[in-house]
Amino acid sequence: MEILVIDDELISRKKLIAILERYGNCNEMDTGTDALNYYTESINDGKKIDLITLDVSMDGVDGLTVLYRIRVNERRMGLKPDQCSKIVMITSDRSNETHEKALSMGCDHYLVKPVTNRDLVGWMESQHMVGA
């Protein structure tokens, strides 16, 4: 499984990688711009990113913008829902407004920091991304 962890906080990225590295190849980005460039290069090289964890609040290009651009690109490519990347928004933003906006823009799951192994892996199991 190809995994992309996007968060501007180093500690958050490292914690997520520690949880996810046993399930696949993890790549990390600390800006939305770098993440979008990596995503585009991967798609152009024929490599699907199976799981993206994405912080909402980042300087420059924020997580909601990254989410939007990825989903628009997937629609342009004519991908079916089961062919699209699974995107989990991970944030310290507890507001219902941000949660609802992320879901309406196409995120697959929304977790509030601090994220535990049980939160993330439990969801991945429910999506049949990893064995229970």
CATH topology of domain 2-126: Rossmann fold (3.40.50)
Residue 1: partners with Cβ closer than 8 Å, 6 or more residues away? 23, 24, 25, 50, 51, 129, 130
Mean pLDDT of 89-110: 94
Mean pLDDT of 85-105: 94
Q: Could you tell me the residue ranges of all domains in the chain? A: 2-126
Q: Quick check: 2 pLDDT over 70?
A: yes
pTM of the model: 0.95
Per residue in 44-57, pLDDT tens? 999 999 999 999 99
Structure tokens that stand for 118 in this block: 């049980």
The C-alpha atoms of residue 129 and residue 132 are separated, in whole angstroms, by 9
